[in-house]
Amino acid sequence: MHTRNIIEQIRDTCLAPARSCEQNWEMDFHLSPSFCGFDGHFPGNPILPAVAQVMIAREAINTRTASNWSIVKMSRAKFQNMIPPGIVITVHWKETAQENELHCKCMLKVNESVASSFNLVLRRMD
């Protein structure tokens, strides 16, 4: 799996632009069974790897801000529920700008249940 490939596929799975929701943001993604992030994880019972969940959150933030952010730190990561292919994932996040960084509290939900949550510190790459 090439990083560029997975990022392009993540962008292609976005269902609509980010929307504001009570001082937070959210964006929906639909990952089909052919999404490359499921490759090999696990054969016969595919689930979305944690690294792909983090990449989806970062791409949601990149899309909303029209910038290219690099993850410099991740903390308080909890991956609570498996995410299978073919369902809508809603990424929720709250942004706080601090100096040259963007601090984001992220949560991925599937069917209104929290699948994962984590905090990201991002630095602009462009």
Q: Is 19 helix (H, G, I), strand (E, B) or coil?
A: strand
What's the structural domain count of the chain?
1
Reading the block at residue 15, the tokens are 């269902």
Q: Is 55 helix (H, G, I), strand (E, B) or coil?
A: helix
**What CATH number is attached to the domain comprising 34?**
3.10.129.10
Q: Specify the pLDDT at position 5.
A: 84
For 70, the domain range is: 3-124
- The per-residue pLDDT string of the chain (126 residues; one tens digit each, 9 = 90 and over) reads 455 588 888 988 888 889 998 779 999 999 999 898 888 788 888 999 999 999 999 999 999 999 999 999 999 999 999 999 999 999 999 999 988 899 999 999 999 999 999 999 999 987
Reading the block at residue 26, the tokens are 């959210």
Give the residue among 29, 22, 36 at the shortest CA–CA distance from 61: 29
Q: Specify the pLDDT at position 82.
A: 94
User: Taking CA 96 as the corner, what is the angle to CA 119 and CA 106, rounded to the nearest 5 degrees?
Assistant: 30
Q: Report phi then psi at 125, rounded to 5.
A: -100, -20
- Residue 96, amino acid: T
8: left (phi over 0), alpha (psi -120 to 50) or beta: alpha
42: left (phi over 0), alpha (psi -120 to 50) or beta: beta
